[in-house]
Amino acid sequence: MRTAQEAALAKHITEWVKRGRSTNGVDVPDFSEDTDLIAAGILDSRGFIEMMLEVEQQTGNRIDLNDIDPSEFTTIKGLCRCAVSQVSPC
């Protein structure tokens, strides 16, 4: 079950990614909260780190990614789920 906190965070991060991509007037490719942002070429590793930092700043928590399959946290929905459920990530 998705919490309201997760949904709000995902909405904020979606807007954040769109804002970052549209700098310089470059078209933003279509993406959703379920899009793998790395595979789709929307974020590179630097962009991903920046997105992580933004998520951590919003939640005030450090996210432990070590035992999580990257396919889960390279989507906005997956990353926000991990971030919100800190005690037992994903």
* Binding stretches for another protein (CB under 8 A): 23-27, 36, 38-39, 41, 44-46, 48-49, 52, 62-71, 73-74
Our CB check for another protein shows the closer of 7 and 63 to be 63
Our CB check for another protein shows the closer of 8 and 40 to be 40
To another protein, the closest distance from the beta carbon of 48 in angstroms equals 6
Our CB check for another protein shows the closer of 1 and 46 to be 46
| Per-residue three-class SS string for the chain | CCCHHHHHHHHHHHHHHHHHHCHHHCCCCCCCCCCCCCCCCCCCHHHHHHHHHHHHHHHCCCCCCCCCCHHHHCCHHHHHHHHHCCCCCC
To another protein, the closest distance from the beta carbon of 5 in angstroms equals 21
